[in-house]
Structure 1
Amino acid sequence: MRKIFLCSILLAESFVSALAGGLVTNTNHSASFLRNPARMASLELDAVYYNPAGVAFMKKGFHIGLNNQSAFQNRDITATIQDNMFVPTTAMQNSLYEGTIVSPVIPSIHFAYVSDRWSISSHFGVPGGGGKLDYANGLPMFDVMVRQMIYGNVYGALMGGGASQATAATQAYQMAGAADVNSSFSGQTYLFGWQVGGSYKLTDNLSAYAGARLLMAKSKYEGSVYYALNGQENNMDLLAEQTGFGIAPIVGIDYKLDRLNLAVKYEFGSNIEVENSTSKFPEQFDGVAALARFKDGVKSQSDQPALLTAGAAYDLTRALKLSTGMHYYFDKNVNYNGLENEINSNTVEYMLGAEYALCQKLTLSAGVQFTNYEVTDNYNSNTGFMVSNYSLGGGLKYSPTENLDLNLGVLWTNFDDYSKTANYNGIGMLEQYDRRSTAAGIGAAWSF
Structure 2
Amino acid sequence: MKKLTLLAVFFMLLNVTFAGGLLTNYNQSAQYIRMLSRNAALEIDAVFYNPAGLVKLENGWHFAFYSQSIFQTREVNTEFPLLNDGYYKGETTVPVFPDLYGVYKKDKWAFSLGIGPIGGGGTATFDRGLPSFEIPISKAVPALAGLAQISPALAVTGYSADLSFDGSSTYWGIQLGATYAINDMFSVYGGVRVMPSVNAYKGAIENVMLEAGGQMNPASAWLTGASSTVSGIAGQATTGANLMYGTATQMQPVIDAGGGDFTLAQLEGAGYIDAATRSLIEGGLQYVGIPQEQIDMMNFVQLQGTYNAVGDELTATAGILNGTAQTLSGTAGAMEDREVDTKQKGMGFTPIIGINISPNDDWNIGLKYEHKTSLILKNETKVDDLGLFPDGVEGSYDVPGIITAGVGYRGLDWLEMQLSYNMYLDKGVDYGYNVRYNSVGQRVKREIDKNYYELGLGLQFNLSEKFAISVGGLISENGVTPEYQSDFSFTNSSNTLAGGFMWKITDKLVFDFGVSNTFYKDDTVVFTDPDVGEYDETYAKTTLNVAAGISYSIF
Aligned to 2:357: 255
Secondary structure of 2:527's partner?
Answer: strand
Counterpart of 1:269, as a letter, is K
Which of 247, 270, 274 matches 2:377? 274
CA positional deviation for 1:151? 4.8
For 1:435, the aligned partner's letter is K
Contact 2:76–2:538 under 8 Å retained in 1: yes
Matching residue of 1:67: 66
Superposed CA deviations along residues 413-445 of structure 1, whole A, max 9, x for unmatched, are 000121123344423443222211111111100
Instruction: Specify the alignment match of 1:231 in structure 2.
Output: 217
Cα distance in 2 for residues equivalent to 1:139 and 1:97: 6
5 Å-filtered alignment, 1:21-60, equals 21-60=20-59
Q: Indicate the residue corresponding to 1:418 in structure 2.
A: 523
Instruction: Tell me, in whole angstroms, the C-alpha distance in 2 between the residues paired with 1:224 and 1:2.
Output: 17
Consecutive unaligned residues in structure 1, runs of 5 or more:
none
* Superposition TM-score, scaled by structure 2 size: 0.72
Matching of residues 1-400 of structure 1 within 5 Å: 1=1, 3=3, 5-82=4-81, 87=82, 91-92=83-84, 95-149=86-140, 151-152=142-143, 154=144, 158=147, 167=149, 175=156, 177-226=157-206, 227-229=208-210, 231-232=217-218, 234-256=336-358, 257-282=360-385, 286=387, 291=388, 294-338=389-433, 341-400=446-505
Distance 1:7 1:277 in 2: 20
State the shift of 1:169 in Å: 11
Query: SS at 1:344's partner residue?
Result: coil
Tell me, what secondary structure is at the counterpart of 2:24? Answer: coil
Q: Deviations over 1:125-163 (max 9, x none)?
A: 0110110001111112222211224654x468x4xxxx7
Equivalent in the alignment of 2:514: 409
SS for the counterpart of 1:15 is coil
The structure with more helix, counted as a fraction of residues: 2
- Structure 1 position 207, deviation (Å): 0.5
CA distance in 2, matches of 1:355, 1:191: 31
- The separation in 1 between residues aligned to 2:169 and 2:462, in whole angstroms, is 38
Change (3 A) 1:425 1:403: same
CA distance in 2, matches of 1:295, 1:150: 32
Deviation at 1:2, TM superposition (A): 5.4
Decide whether the 8 Å contact of 1:120 with 1:199 is kept in 2: yes
Q: Against the structure 1 CA distance between its residues 112 and 169, is the aligned structure 2 distance closer, same or farther, given a 3 Å change threshold?
A: farther
Superposition CA RMSD, Å: 2.0
Contact 1:12 1:384 in 2 (8 A): no
Q: Distance in 1 between matches of 2:483 and 2:32?
A: 32
Query: How many Å separate the matches in 2 of 1:390 and 1:11?
Result: 28
CA distance in 2, matches of 1:198, 1:409: 29
Q: How many angstroms does 1:11 deviate by?
A: 3.0
Higher normalized strand content (fraction of residues): 1
3-state SS of paired residue (1:343): coil
Give the AA of the match of 1:18. T
**1: CA distance, partners of 2:490 / 2:373:** 23
Which secondary structure does the structure 2 equivalent of 1:143 belong to? Answer: helix
TM superposition shift of 1:97: 1.0
One-letter amino acid of the structure 2 residue matched with residue 57 of structure 1 = K
For the pair 1:431 / 2:534, whether they are aligned, the reply is no
Instruction: Report what 1:446 is aligned to.
Output: 552
How far residue 16 of structure 1 moved from its aligned partner, in angstroms, is: 3.2
Q: How far, CA to CA, are the matches of 1:225 and 1:354 in structure 2?
A: 49
Q: Which amino acid aligns with 1:276?
A: N
Q: Which moved more, 1:308-317 or 1:419-428?
A: 419-428
Query: For the residues of structure 2 that align with 1:171 and 1:377, how far apart are their CA atoms?
Result: 43
Within 2, Cα distance between the matches of 1:366 and 1:419? 31
Query: In 2 relative to 1, CA 6–370 (structure 1 residues): closer, same or farther, beyond 3 Å?
Result: farther
Whole-angstrom CA distance in 1 between matches of 2:63 and 2:217: 63
* SS, match of residue 11 in structure 2: coil
Q: Number of residues paired by the alignment?
A: 420
Offset at residue 17 of structure 1 (A) = 2.6
Q: Which amino acid aligns with 1:330?
A: L
For residue 278 of structure 1, report the CA deviation from its aligned partner.
Answer: 2.1
**1:228-253 CA distance string (max 9 Å, x none):** 23532541222221111010111101
Q: 2:132 touches 2:488 (CA, 8 Å); kept in 1?
A: no
CA distance in 2, matches of 1:407, 1:147: 51
Deviation at residue 334 of structure 1 after TM alignment: 1.8
Q: Deviations over 1:27-67 (max 9, x none)?
A: 10001000011100000110011000000111111000001
Q: Deviations over 1:169-189 (max 9, x none)?
A: 9988x62x5122221112100
Partner SS state of residue 479, structure 2: strand
User: Structure 1 vs Structure 2: percent identity of aligned residues?
Assistant: 30
For residues 180 and 194 of structure 1, the distance between their equivalents in structure 2, rounded to whole angstroms, comes to 46
* Aligned counterparts of 2:12 and 2:355: Cα–Cα separation in 1: 34
- The residue identity in structure 1 corresponding to 2:122 is G
What is the distance in 2 between the residues matched to 1:301 and 1:314?
41
Q: Which amino acid in structure 2 is aligned with residue 430 of structure 1? A: D
Contact 1:392 1:412 in 2 (8 A): yes
